[in-house]
Chains A and B, each alone.
Chain A
Amino acid sequence: MTEERPLLEARQVFRGFFGNPVLKGVDIALLPGRVHALLGENGAGKSTLINLLSGALQPDGGSILVDGKPVGRFSPAAARAAGIAVVQQELSLTASLSIAENIGLGAFPRRFGFIDYRALHRGVSDVCDMVGLTEPLDMPVADLALGRRQMVEIAKALFRKPRVLILDEPTSSLSAHEAGILARLIETLKDRGTALLYISHRLNEVQALCSHVTVLKDGLVTADQSLSGIDGEGLVRLMVGRETGDLFPPRSVTAPGAMRINVEGFSAGMVRDIDFSARAGEIVGIGGLVGQGQEDLLLGLYGAIPAAASRAEVSGKPALPAHVGEANAAGIVYVPADRKHEGLVLPHSIASNLILPSLGRLASRGLRDRPAENGLVADLARRLTIKGDTARPVQALSGGNQQKVALAKWLPLDPSVLLLNDPTRGVDIETKREIYLMLRAFAAEGRLVILASSDTPELVHLCDRVVVLREGRVAAALSQDEISEGAIVGAAMGITAMTQGEAA
């Protein structure tokens, strides 16, 4: 291989959101004629890196270089002018406009200031032929199925005649046939000297198409190497493994107690026909890639979305809770992932958030019982080590402390089952430790904790059992010694061989 100059490069880029660092000094270099894979778990910083490379975000530190020269203020328009095109995972299409207009959007050929529909038609026909789009070009995108829209998105990127093409999970909604067209297209572009960056959770695609890989982990590059001689297991190994220190409390040694949840043939939302059971005193983790049905499983058990099961036993009752009120009455509580919108009333005080679920119970003869409420708030604040004045609004707290409030408000109900959706997302490490201790303590008191998480180490080190979902089905059910990062990530990505290999 000759030493070629990268067309697009990021050097030591930093970027954070709301004081949360996402990228902590990342390097990546895209060479002409090479398909470069970008791998990483959920939240590793892949999307942020793509947004920096395409001008949609500005780095807090470090620089983006095009043809070896640093660019000043980078915008999507400047990126396009530099020959960089992105196939977004979240489509960038306008539903009411036609296929042709969508493909040209932001890069219209012009004549006297007007869109040159003749030139547009020519250019769009060419790229549509390349991706096998045979629909009439005047058809509104709203009429297309998701997979076809994805092909329009790809055609849109090609229309810009890119020297650098970034593909963010391009195949997630494509049929096998369409994915095949895309694969051939990538080969063609590679031969023409286009630099390609390919992001995918489908490791077999990565192996088939890519020759070089950069692995992101917690905002750092953990591998930047050639892909030759690396198999699927090797890829997974590159993505996992990190020092966990004493972040996690020791597992309990006591045997789990009575059966609390036992469902067979359970379906809710994305979840299709799964069996699931959990006992008192357990912490059960739900893992998987983003949006594989984890939230729907929790919400279905909570009665918040329509759910069905061929056989169900929940908290001693022979049926699923029909609605949230019934679930609460049976001692089941749910802490949502989106604490800012679903879990808390942000402008209200810590105290009023804490007593919200208990208001009705504490009231006497229809009136609020202030002394009882104050006692409860003081007790909760002490148990949860919430520091300072509880009259402050919740939004003044850090993300971690907000999460503690969202959890704590349920404790007065003495719940027997806690359903937690990604409770440590965006939470600093110290508060994470406190939350883990809290969850362990809950389990030790004989409560059942079911925890959906996008954080693999948390599943490995905190949970007694882990259920990995993939496309709404159980991809793996792991317990005790079987639980490892390799096994979870492998199952989440559909590599079943990993479940034994890495655990041994």
Chain B
Amino acid sequence: MSTSSSSRLYGSIQLRRNRGLAGLYLVVAAFLVLYALLFPGILSIGGFSKFTQNWFPLALVTMAQALLMLNGGITLAIGPLVSLGAVIAATTMEGALGVPGGILAVSLAGLSIGAVIGAIVTYLRLPAIIVTLAGSFIIGGVALILLPRPGGFIPDWLSTMLAGHTPVAFLLLVVILLLWKAFLATPLGLGIYAAGDNPVGAFRSGVPVERVKVAAFALSGLLAALTGLFVAAQTGSGDPVIGTPFTLNSIAAAVLGGVGFLGGKGTMRGAICGSLLLSVMINVMFFLGFPPVAQYVAQGLIIVGAVAVPELLGQWRARR
């Protein structure tokens, strides 16, 4: 056995979790190289900043989705939560508490809505897909009541900071990923995996499965609402329906990243790569002048392929 110190145990566990992702890393790298060849602008600070700003919201909502999928759930309320986050940001930042108050309001809204949805799913034992579908209508409706048409106010300096010519968004993503790593090194964080893969076993092992589930929904809500804040800063105003495409894109990106639907299978790093891949693909097709319809079709085919190829490879290996 090679592990002799604690950091080695933690480190080697982390290394092992890359297993099975090599193919994905290669594909992502290939797409990035292709992108850089097509659009060398990405290699400048400004180009890199713009590129990561385009990717950042998708990365965040993919984390919000993957968090729940790893826990054996799913959410269809991502998009409306993004919209609500944008609307709240755009309506509170001109208030007395300014930008900090706005960030606080968005965070609290995301956390509490997520926790309520999680509590309903967990304690009433209702299917997550139905509860979050219902939740998505309600949240979307509330966003439209708060701000019936795009508007509100986002300070210019915030827009410039988050979506200007500096890679602040990328640095924020790094910070969020580090926070996720730290969270995964707590009993609660690992509990998300355990409760997703084998809920009965986790419960019998003493994992507070119900609390873990509610926490997962709350964190997911927080991430989605903060995505809304970023999107509002990016566009300079609150738009009550801007989040809509994120619901299905978050699922697509998580699936591309190898996160399974049945819980416990997959990794957050895979999901992040999935979101990067999806983001690059959308950009490449857009810049190559694909008509939007063709983009959607291609996107769908690529996602089905991404799920089918490992499956077919596995069957092929099993036959040999």
Contact = CB atoms under 8 A, between A and B. Distances in A.
A101 B6 contact: no
Interface string B8-20: 0110110110010
Interface string A76-114: 110110000010101111111110110001111010011
Contacts of B197: 94-97
A156 interface: yes
Contacts of A114: 182, 185-186
Interface stretch (A130-138, A174-182, A207-215): A130-138
B3 A137 contact: yes
A185 interface: no
Given A105-B190, A136-B2, A92 B9 contact: no
Q: For chain A, what secondary structure do more than half of its interface residues adopt (helix, strand, loop), or is it mixed?
A: loop
A139 B1 CA distance: 11
A105 B13 contact: no
Contact of A100 (B13, B15, B193, B202): B13
Contacts of B194: 94, 97, 105
A37 B265 CA distance: 38
A283 interface: no
Contact of B193 (A96, A113, A117, A134): A96
A137 B204 contact: no
A115 interface: yes
B5 interface: yes
A190 interface: no
B204 A56 contact: yes
Contacts of A117: 6-7, 9-10, 185
Q: For chain B, what secondary structure do more than half of its interface residues adopt (helix, strand, loop), or is it mixed?
A: helix
Interface residues of A, number: 40
Contacts of B206: 76-77, 79-80, 105-107
A136 B16 CA distance: 11
Q: How large is the interface on B (under 10, 10 to 19, 20 to 34, 35 or more residues)?
A: 35 or more
Contacts of A119: 6
A86 B10 contact: no
B201 interface: yes
B65 to A, nearest CB: 18
Q: Which of B13, B15, B19 has the most CB of A within 10 A?
A: B13
B178 to A, nearest CB: 13
A140 B187 contact: no
A115 B5 contact: no
B207 interface: yes
B200 A138 contact: no
A134 B1 contact: yes
Given A97-B190, A105-B190, A115-B185, A137 B9 contact: yes
Contacts of A100: 9, 13
A118 interface: yes
A121 interface: yes
A270 to B, nearest CB: 20
Interface in B1-55: 1-3, 5-7, 9-10, 12-13, 15-16, 19
Contact of A113 (B12, B15, B186): B186
Given A107-B206, A114-B186, A91 B201 contact: yes
A134 B182 CA distance: 29
Nearest to B15: A138
Contacts of A118: 5-7, 9
18 contacts: A56-B203, A92-B201, A94-B201, A94-B202, A95-B198, A95-B264, A97-B190, A105-B191, A108-B187, A110-B187, A114-B185, A114-B186, A115-B187, A115-B190, A119-B6, A134-B1, A136-B1, A136-B3
Given A77-B206, A96-B265, A119-B6, 16 more contacts: A56-B204, A77-B208, A80-B206, A86-B204, A93-B201, A95-B198, A95-B264, A95-B265, A96-B264, A97-B193, A98-B13, A113-B186, A114-B185, A117-B6, A136-B1, A138-B16
